[in-house]
């Protein structure tokens, strides 16, 4: 059932009509194309490249933004249906949507995820005329969301929720019971968008559908409010300006060392390495490291060497060892041209783990950030909505565009087999628990070979060209014993070893 939400006009008016009207006003009137759009005069070919974006570049960016939001369904939003009798998993937490309290918990858990999307009209990317990442930066945005989730659990209290989530409007979905004669016959819940404490009248429900109790305050709300400055600070690190440590400008600059540039397609494997370099380069996070697995293998000793700072400082006091928290990123391939169905149960079990911080992948040339699932469908955050840039350097900048109000799902069968799975461990004990729990989840695969493995040693013991803690080039390859480490230089960062 596709129901247009009350705010559909927001996207049509705010993105399509306003942008087209504004762009037309800015263009000279001398000539008009056969398609009815007034075009600017051809810029002087002597103009330095890549100089400042000209009016044609700006018009293209606006039209691309408008068309993108139509193409990916953001101009007419449809409701996503959820099964009332099957649990929904979000970031390791399970919700059974058969009561108002559970719906509220799910609502807060979903809306509290950080949502990073295409932006337009940001400062020009160095070496190009790009002022938007619309149409090419979706994998970078998905990678940002993965890193942001890791930073949320690293810096904020356990099970933190955004205290202003209740003020969001237009969060639409519906509930239904399987095999009901009419799909909408299940008891619908009030829209997420019902403003709490608002004076605006709400549509009344039948008496048998009025919830008996609806939580207005959570016990943790005071704690969550106290953590709000950290939440705001975290968002500034992903701002769309050159100085933001994890912003698009920095990620594109880091990607140049791997042969990528603004406007290129980035795969999930190379984005994992870009994120690792960005965290290592940044000074805003001192006690966090990022490890990228190689050849679908996590080498435990390499992780220990990366996190245990006493090993890199011979004069350190062993009685006061400092263990860095770690984000582990594992690029994998879940099949050949399409997802191998044998891996679906394994992916579900991984998403059920609290140590899992999500999966970046999606569909071919269409990146998504997977945060959970229900039945045979993945729950995801979509970076393809193009929004105006937000100046995060301003005091009290708006946070609403960094949190999504539209849950979306897609079948597992449509998932691209190329993806990167993220995990987080706060300390050494958590890392050991992570290895144990993930190994159990991996064993649920029906395939002879697991998605990836944990190995006690270090990468160089297996004669790898490099390992995830400090290697930044192409994916390394396990070489058979007794053979020299000769291999071709691979430019494609998303090539994997097939077992």
Three-state DSSP string of the chain: CCCCCCCHHHHHHHHHHHHHHHHHHHCCCCCECCCCCECCCCCCCCCCCCCCCCHHHHHHHHHHHHHHHHHCCCCCCCCEEEECCCCEEECCEEECCCCHHHHHHHHHHHHCCECCCCEECCCCCCCCCCCECCCCCHHHHHHHHHHHHHHHHHHCCCCCCCCCHHHCCCCCEEEECCCCCCHHHCCCCCCCCCCCCCCCCCCCCCHHHCCCCCCCCCCCHHHHHHCHHHHHHHHHCCCCCCCCCCCHHHHHHHHHHHCCCCCCCCCHHHHHHHHHHHHHHCCCCCCEEEEECECCEEEHHHHHHHHEHHHCCCCCCHHHCCECEEEEEEEEECCCCCCCHHHHHHHHHHHCCCCEEEEEEEECCEEEEEEEEECCEEEEECCCCCEECCCCCCCCCCCHHHECCCCEEEEHHHCCCEEEEEEEECCHHHHHHHHHHHHHHHCCCCCCCCCCEEECCCHHHHCCCCCCCCCCCCCCCCCCCCCCCCCCCCCCCCCCCCC
Residue range 19-39, pLDDT digits in tens: 333 433 343 333 333 333 333
Among the listed residues 364, 308, 353, the one whose alpha carbon sits nearest the alpha carbon of residue 330: 353
Residue range 82-121, pLDDT digits in tens: 999 999 999 999 999 999 899 989 999 999 999 999 999 9
Is residue 387 within 8 Å of residue 133, measured between CB atoms? Answer: no
Domain-wise residue ranges, the chain: 93-170+222-312+322-460
Residue 12 CB-density burial (10 A; 0-12 exposed, 13-18 middle, 19+ buried): middle
Percent of the chain with pLDDT over 90: 53
Whether residue 320 is predicted with pLDDT greater than 90 in this model: the reply is no
Largest CA distance in the chain: 77
**Assessment of whether the complete model's pTM goes beyond 0.85:** no
Cβ of 76: how many Cβ atoms within 10 Å? 14
Residues known to be catalytic? 138, 382, 384
pLDDT at 35: 34
Determine the average pLDDT of the residues in 42-52: 46
Determine the average pLDDT of the residues in 41-52: 45
Compute the mean pLDDT over every residue in the chain, rounded to the nearest whole number. 76
Residue range 155-203, pLDDT digits in tens: 999 989 998 886 664 556 777 766 544 343 333 444 444 333 333 333 3
Name the more confident of 122 and 54. Answer: 122
Determine the average pLDDT of the residues in 279-299: 94
Highest mean pLDDT among 13-27, 408-422, 440-454: 408-422
Whether residue 420 is predicted with pLDDT greater than 90 in this model: the reply is yes
pLDDT at 477: 34
């Amino acid at each position: 059932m596709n129901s247009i939400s009350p705010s559909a006009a927001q996207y049509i008016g705010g993105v399509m009509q306003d942008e087209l009207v504004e762009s037309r006003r800015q263009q000279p009137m001398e000539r008009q194309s056969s398609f009815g759009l007034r075009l600017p005069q051809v810029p002087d070919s002597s103009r330095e490249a890549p100089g400042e974006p000209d009016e044609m570049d700006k018009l293209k960016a606006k039209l691309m933004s408008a068309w993108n939001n139509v193409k990916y369904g953001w101009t007419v939003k449809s409701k996503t249906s959820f099964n009332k009798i099957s649990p929904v998993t979000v970031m390791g937490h399970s919700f059974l949507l058969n009561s108002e309290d559970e719906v509220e918990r799910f609502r807060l858990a979903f809306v509290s995820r950080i949502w990073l999307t295409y932006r337009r009209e940001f400062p020009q990317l160095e070496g190009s005329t790009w002022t938007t990442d619309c149409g090419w930066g979706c994998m970078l945005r998905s990678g940002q969301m993965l890193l942001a989730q890791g930073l949320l659990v690293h810096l904020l209290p356990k099970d933190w929720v955004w205290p202003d989530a209740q003020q969001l409007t237009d969060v639409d979905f519906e509930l239904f019971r399987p095999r009901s004669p009419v799909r909408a016959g299940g008891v619908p819940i009030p829209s997420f968008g019902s403003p709490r404490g608002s004076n605006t009248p709400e549509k009344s429900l039948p008496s048998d559908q009025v919830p008996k109790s609806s939580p207005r305050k959570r016990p943790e709300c005071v704690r969550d409010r106290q953590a709000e400055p950290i939440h705001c600070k975290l968002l500034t690190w992903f701002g769309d300006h050159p100085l933001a440590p994890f912003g698009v400008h920095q990620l594109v600059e880091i990607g140049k060392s791997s042969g990528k540039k603004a406007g290129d397609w980035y795969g999930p494997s190379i984005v994992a390495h870009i994120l690792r370099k960005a965290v290592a380069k940044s000074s805003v996070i001192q006690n966090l490291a990022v490890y990228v697995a190689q050849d679908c293998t996590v080498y435990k000793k390499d992780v220990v060497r990366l996190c245990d700072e006493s090993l890199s400082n011979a004069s350190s006091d062993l009685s006061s060892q400092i263990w860095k928290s770690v984000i582990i990123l594992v690029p994998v391939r879940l099949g050949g041209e399409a997802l191998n169905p044998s891996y679906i149960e394994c992916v579900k079990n991984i998403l059920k783990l609290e140590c899992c911080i999500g999966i970046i992948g999606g569909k071919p040339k269409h990146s998504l950030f997977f945060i959970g699932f229900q039945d045979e469908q993945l729950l995801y955050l979509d970076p393809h909505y193009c929004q105006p840039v937000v100046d995060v350097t301003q005091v009290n900048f708006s946070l609403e565009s960094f949190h999504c109000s539209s849950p979306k799902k897609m079948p597992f069968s449509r998932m691209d087999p190329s993806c990167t799975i993220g995990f987080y461990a706060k300390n050494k004990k958590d890392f050991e628990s992570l290895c144990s729990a993930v190994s159990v989840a991996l064993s649920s695969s029906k395939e002879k070979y697991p998605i990836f493995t944990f190995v006690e040693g270090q990468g160089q013991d297996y004669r790898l060209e490099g390992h995830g803690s400090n290697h930044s080039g192409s994916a390394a390859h396990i070489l058979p014993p007794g053979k020299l480490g000769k291999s071709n230089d691979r430019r494609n960062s998303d090539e994997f070893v097939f077992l």
